[in-house]
Chains A and B, each alone.
Chain A
């Protein structure tokens, strides 16, 4: 986005490329975002993305998947998420069914066996029938490791999961491998590009942070937000866009419970397009404010400020 330095380094060139690539799929990336993508691929490290809700953390993974043309595999974290949901599960039903079916075959199999010892010895030959990959139901993490041509793995809202789960992820994040007791170690054919997102509802452990690159996405500044809206809601005319963005930027300066994020700005822009508005005025803002602010308290508190905010927005 910045003018390239006079002597452009190969790294800078790659980063500018990434920015362009992301822009084609509608994601306007700041320098920091593009840099982290570049580093993640160069160093083959996972990326931990933090920032307030609604600034495009999850969207980043989507855009990155499109950029490198790999499937996106998503794991939504929640309290109580465990490995049978995240990694793998045995297909118990199938195992059970097979046991029942095989029971009838057992007689044939054992025909001619002399005594218990020999029968058991013969059974041992079929030892691992029920615990091999046939009966394994892969969950997102295992799917990402198994992916034929690599993948983008998004572990969303890692802060919602338990600490145990965080510890369980460490092996995956540092070596791109996972140990399954019954089978052994599964190693990724192509290390997936991993994104972890967090809203900071709790502090993420140091061990996990150490293994990741850390990206903090703040609210975008005036220019960047303009470009984002321009790319997302191209129908909106330029003058209204400037007004809208500077209004939202002004709103973020106030003391609110929940500050409007980029996603809200986009929603608002769409709303204004639908309403065929061509200029921001107090009346219009009052009508549509509930798109931007999600708490009644906030809406009431802001009410007095609306005329002033609208005026400054219209001047810009």
Chain B
């Protein structure tokens, strides 16, 4: 029983449903109270214990159907028997362990024990074959299958485990003796059918356990890839990732935005403080919670030199402004313009493309842009404002505008600079990072999503 359940939970996890250990224990307890007898009941009960959101429930249903129907490949079985099947598998578990031990002993799996695979095939005993198949799947640990390329290997291993070698040997002998032996003909057919069954079983398991493996792998790699080198076709995945990231960060740090409770007497403190006045309630203390209203002014360089990265930075800004109420966003290359409204009204693809089309493609003018930024926002910047600048600080040998930035810095809570270039390239050629860095609280390289996450998380912890 537990075996079936553990594998099912494994399949669930592969399908992106988060199942904790505590929840698996509960699932086992649920099984005990509900039993395997009724399929729909089992499904409802397990779904309530294991899937904790609407999305999860949908994925759970899919998984449940796939997992518990895979036990009924054989046509001979009635649907009723299929519902009972997990039970059957549960019973076979101890045998499975025993057989595994025997396999280690060198007999090569099949053949040993009751009937040989040969006998089963010749008799056409579907039920026993099915059981043998499940057994073999268990022995070769089919649930560990990860990649498409492993398919053939697992099929062969399962067949060997079931004792196909003996069958092949006999088949070879028979054919050598007589080409048209009817027994050989039948046997060949049976063997082909068996191979098909095994392949189908492997395919199904692969679907169960690897549905998301490819995506997960890709996401993992994408997180580490330098932003400038991300391919066009990965944009969709990337956007999802960026969005997830922004959501997580904001959720993580949004806790301090509690409401202020106005006008409630804090009795405890009042009594404590008034002890010195002989217990006379003279000096009152009121309950109060500080309201933290963070503000972010984000500026993004969208010129040719950082165009690739700018896409993601804009995407990120977009996601952030979706979740934090007060974000003012700006974009510039040779001119600076506010894109806050664009971000608020347009879907992300349009907004990002539009921004790049309207403000990109020019030669970067940091001096002009920062002066314009100062003009537009200085009145709005106060001790709660975080100014976030994304750019490579390459000013084409013109004024980098560090004086304007310094004035902003004096007012703002902090100024952060994210540079998509690797550290070694700063201050080379027309990069003015050193001058500008003097007017920033921090300068961080920001080359991949990992970097971005770390930097933003830090900002969020202290400012947002």
| Interface residues on chain B, number (Cβ under 8 Å) | 33
CB of A160 to closest CB in B, whole Å: 12
- Cα A98 to Cα B35 in complex, Å, equals 59
Residues of A within 8 A of B26 (CB): 43, 45
Given A45-B26, A80-B258, A209-B52, are A31 and B34 also a contact pair (CB < 8 Å)? no
| Interface residues on chain A, number (Cβ under 8 Å) | 37
**Number of interchain pairs (Cβ within 8 Å):** 83
The segment out of B39-47, B111-119, B356-364, B398-406 that lies at the interface is B39-47
SS class of chain B's interface: helix, strand, loop or mixed?
A: helix
The segment out of A34-42, A108-116, A242-250 that lies at the interface is A34-42
Contact call A92/B267, Cβ cutoff below 8 A: yes
- Cα A44 to Cα B320 in complex, Å, equals 41
The segment out of A4-12, A151-159, A261-269 that lies at the interface is A4-12
Binding site for B on A (CB under 8 A): 2, 5, 7, 9, 11-12, 15, 31-32, 35-36, 39, 42-43, 45, 48, 50, 79-80, 90, 92, 96, 99-100, 103, 162-164, 203, 206, 209-210, 212-216
Contact call A39/B45, Cβ cutoff below 8 A: yes
| Interface residue from A31, A80, A210, A212 paired with B44 (Cβ < 8 Å) | A31
Contact call B23/A210, Cβ cutoff below 8 A: yes
Contact call A206/B255, Cβ cutoff below 8 A: no
Contact call A164/B258, Cβ cutoff below 8 A: yes
Residues of B within 8 A of A162 (CB): 258
Of all A-B residue pairs in the complex, the 3 with the closest CB atoms, nearest first, are A209-B52, A92-B267, A214-B52
Contact call B258/A11, Cβ cutoff below 8 A: no
Known: A7-B37, A92-B267, A96-B271. 7 other contacts (CB 8 A): A9-B38, A31-B44, A48-B52, A206-B18, A210-B20, A214-B57, A216-B54
| Interface residue from A5, A9, A213, A216 paired with B49 (Cβ < 8 Å) | A213
Given A80-B261, A163-B255, A210-B20, are A215 and B38 also a contact pair (CB < 8 Å)? no
Given A31-B44, A210-B22, A213-B48, are A39 and B251 also a contact pair (CB < 8 Å)? no
- Cα A215 to Cα B44 in complex, Å, equals 10
Residues of B within 8 A of A92 (CB): 267-268, 271
Contact call B259/A80, Cβ cutoff below 8 A: yes
Assess whether B33 is interfacial by the CB under 8 Å rule: yes
| Interface residue from A42, A79, A210 paired with B52 (Cβ < 8 Å) | A210
CB of B23 to closest CB in A, whole Å: 6
| Interface residue from A7, A11, A50 paired with B33 (Cβ < 8 Å) | A11
Contact call B48/A214, Cβ cutoff below 8 A: yes
Contact call B33/A79, Cβ cutoff below 8 A: no
Residues of B within 8 A of A99 (CB): 279
- Cα A42 to Cα B53 in complex, Å, equals 22
Contact call A35/B48, Cβ cutoff below 8 A: yes
Assess whether B88 is interfacial by the CB under 8 Å rule: no
Residues of B within 8 A of A216 (CB): 54, 57
Residues of B within 8 A of A15 (CB): 41
List CB contacts (< 8 Å) of B267-314 with chain A.
Answer: 267-268, 271, 279, 281
- Cα A5 to Cα B251 in complex, Å, equals 46
Contact call B279/A43, Cβ cutoff below 8 A: no
- Cα A2 to Cα B43 in complex, Å, equals 15
- Cα A114 to Cα B267 in complex, Å, equals 34
CB of A315 to closest CB in B, whole Å: 31
Assess whether B29 is interfacial by the CB under 8 Å rule: yes
- Cα A163 to Cα B259 in complex, Å, equals 12
CB of B339 to closest CB in A, whole Å: 27
CB of B288 to closest CB in A, whole Å: 12
